[in-house]
Structure 1
Amino acid sequence: MRISSLSEKEFLEKVFAARQFSKSDGALLADTLVDADLRGISSHGIQRLAWYTSMIKEHIIEPQNKLKVIKETPTSLLIDANKNMGQIATAFAEKQLIKKTQKLGLSVAVIRNSNHFGTAGYYARMAAKQGLIGIALTNTRPLVVPTNATEAFLGSNAFAFTFPAEPHPFVFDGATSIVSSGKIQVLAKNNQPIPGDWAVDDHRRVMHDAQKVEDNLAKVAFTEKQPGGGVLTLGGLLQSNSNYKGFGNSLVVELLTGILAQGSISADTNKPGHHDFSQFLLTINPELFGNLDDLKKSAEEMFDRLRHLKHLPGTEIMIPGDREYRRYAENLKQGVVIDDKTAAELKTIGEELAIPVPEAI
């Protein structure tokens, strides 16, 4: 079914208020989920609410905890998210970096003791809106099997990069694994098979049953005893397809998040008392190197040339960000899509908190 983004946001804000988040924090959390749904990234939208709710009940997330700035310089921040949602610490850090970068040209932040933070692109776009280059990274729970391995060790380790441009900024936002776990969750909820070679069992055999993979990933992520298997790195199953490059990309994210922030690496986030993710943010003022309008024009000309390359009939060449901005405009008018299982989860949450759920449009 479809619901209006406005009713989705109102429902989410009421749920987060009932879960003891401050009004401003609840509004931010709601906005990140609605933004993902509007862009067609349902894996990181309202379908995450049941997971967030369970982590709040288990005190993995502490809604009333305040973040702590551990160390600050004119061009850097080290932040302790203090077991609250990753969105809260990351949005705060990004706003501070934008101010620093506007003064000094570039700045960087690392965050530890955090949680899931939605889509990485949400924060990178905050920089792009101010005419800056934005980079955002996060590690995650252990889901990904390295090259030739049979057990999960790495996170899906998202990477987002933005560059100012018109009619919208360049936005690359994706996992360094072959796919995020959220996309497998969405397939499982819709009783659909995995269409590609995304995940393997404990003998590194490809699995296409989305529910079985999701059940296995839940065991990997929330128990100390690894049952084996997980999501593949970029490049897929075989080393001959250069899957070691995806492995390397994921390790770069681990180094810049868990290691640099002195938090947990993905492999250790499932240990008792942990479940702490880490994030990395970098903002750069392109005017360190040239006039912003000239740089934007050069980027736009390159994108336009790419879009008009010869291509297969019935297809089109899209630049990262094109699809999401197109979906955003469409879903703003038509409403966002909610699968039946997520709708049932929202009904349960609504009944528990006495909050009316959004109606289909």
Structure 2
Amino acid sequence: MRITATAETEFLEEVFQKAGFSATDGTLLADTLVDADLRGISSHGIQRLDWYIRMVKDGTIKPQNEVKTLKETDTSLLLDANGNMGQIASALAIKSLIKKAKTTNIAMAVIRNSNHFGTAGYYSRLAAEAGLIGISTTNTRPLVVPTNAIEAFLGSNAFAFTFPADPHPFVFDGATSSVSSGKIMVLAKNQKPILGEWAIDRERNIIHDSKKAAEILSEVAFTEHQSGGGVLTLGGNREENSNYKGFGNSLVVELLTGILAQGSISADTNTGKHDFSQFFMVINPAFFGDLATLKANAEKMFERIRNLDHIPGTHIMIPGDREYRNYDHNSKHGVVIDPKTIQEITAIAEKFAIKLPQEIKE
């Protein structure tokens, strides 16, 4: 079923306000979810709503808490999200860094005591739209099994990098693991198999049953004791395929987030205190040369890559191409919501006495 972005936004804003968020914060949260759905990143769209509301109910997310500025200089910022949603502190951080970098050419921020922040690309893209380079990272609950291990320790640890270009910015946005847990959850909701080598059991056997994989991820992410298994690092199941490089990428994000923020590393976010950490950097490319020239040179490189000889029946896309195409298509035709998510948001609507969008009623 498809729903218009406007209808989805209005529904989400009302839900978040009923859940205790301010109108301003609710608008931001809704925008991050709708933006993900429009770009075809359904793992981080409205299907996350039920999870968010459950975390509000159990006190993991504290909607009334305000972000605290702990330290600030012309080039740096340390924020305490104060247990509220990660989107709120992250939006504040990236907007501040954009202002700083326009003057100082580089600025960075660290956030502690945070929660899930949506897609990393949402924030980096704001920097690109301002003519700047944006970097966004976060740690998560433990989901990822290091090279040769049999139990999860690392987070999926998203990393986003953007560079200003035309007709749209370069946007790389992805987990440093083989996949985010959200994609497995979407497959499990829709009773579809995992086609790729994404997840393993305790014996490091590849799992293609999405329901089984989702059960393992739920155990490792939300319980202190786990029987093993989880998501693979980039590079897959075998060290011979260089999965230690994906392991290294995940560790870099752990160092920039949980360690630098002096918060929990991913492995410890399910054993008492639940606190994610985020890291952001903004760079002004105009310091190095004329911005229009830099953008034109980047676009020429992308076009050369898009036009390389390729396998018949396929085409080459630069990171960001697919998402912007999805955005244009879904803006016109609406975003897809799976049946299981419809059931979840119907229950949420009943809980808060909110009317469902007309498209869902039909």
- Distance across 2 between alignment mates of 1:357 and 1:198: 35
Partner of residue 168, structure 2: 168
Q: Does 1:351 align with 2:359?
A: no
The answer for the alignment partner of 2:276 in structure 1 is 277
Partner of 1:325: 324
* Within-5 A mapping of 1:18-167: 18-167=18-167
Counterpart of 2:352 in structure 1: which amino acid?
A: L
Paired residue for 1:200?
A: 200
Give the match's secondary structure for 1:62. coil
Residues 174-202 of structure 1, C-alpha deviation per residue, up to 9 Å, x if partnerless? 00000000000000011000001110111
SS in structure 2 at match of 1:329? helix
- Cα offset, 1:359, TM superposition: 3.0
**1:241 equivalent in structure 2:** 241
**SS of residue in 2 equivalent to 1:231:** strand
Instruction: Using the TM superposition, give the Cα deviation of residue 206 of structure 1 relative to its aligned residue in structure 2, in angstroms.
Output: 1.0
In 2, distance between residues paired with 1:62 and 1:211? Answer: 30
Shift of 1:226: 1.8
Partner of 2:260: 260
Q: 1:214-245, CA deviations, whole angstroms, 9 ceiling, x for partnerless residues? A: 11111111111122100000000000000000
Amino acid at match of 1:202: R
Counterpart residue identity of residue 123, structure 2: Y
C-alpha separation in 2, matches of 1:305 and 1:216: 43
Bigger mean CA offset, 221-230 vs 39-48: 221-230
2-structure distance, mates of 1:299, 1:268: 40
Q: Are 2:277 and 1:290 aligned?
A: no
Deviations along 1:132-173, one digit per CA (max 9) or x if unpaired, are 000000000000000000000000000000000000000000
CA distance in 2, matches of 1:359, 1:152: 42
Structure 1 Cα separation of the partners of residues 357 and 251 of structure 2: 41
1:44-76: CA deviation from partner (whole Å, max 9, x where unpaired): 000000000000000000000001111111100
Q: 2: CA distance between counterparts of 1:227 and 1:250?
A: 22
Tell me which residue corresponds to 1:6.
Answer: 6
Q: Distance in 2 between matches of 1:275 and 1:297?
A: 44
Amino acid at match of 1:340: P
Q: Secondary structure at the match of 1:34?
A: helix
Per the alignment, residue 340 of structure 1 pairs with: 339
- Give the TM-score of the pair, scaled to structure 1: 0.99
| Worse-matched range after superposition: 219-228 or 321-330 | 219-228
Q: CA RMSD in A?
A: 0.7
Secondary structure at the aligned position of 1:168 is classed as coil
Could you tell me which amino acid in structure 1 is paired with residue 337 of structure 2?
A: I
Whole-angstrom CA distance in 2 between matches of 1:195 and 1:286: 40
- 1:282-315 deviation per Cα after TM superposition (whole angstroms, max 9, x unaligned): 0000011111011001000000101111111111
1:301 alignment partner in structure 2: 300
Q: How many correspondences in the alignment?
A: 360
Give, in whole Å, the separation in 2 of the partners of 1:223 and 1:345.
23
Alignment TM-score, normalising by the size of structure 2: 0.99
Q: Aligned letter for 1:74? A: D
**In the aligned structure 1, how far is the partner of 2:342 from the partner of 2:194?**
22
Query: Which runs of 5 or more structure 2 residues have no equivalent in the other structure?
Result: none
Distance in 2 between the 1:122 and 1:64 partners?
Answer: 23
Q: SS state of the match for residue 262, structure 1?
A: coil
1:283 and 1:128 map into 2 onto residues whose CA distance is 9
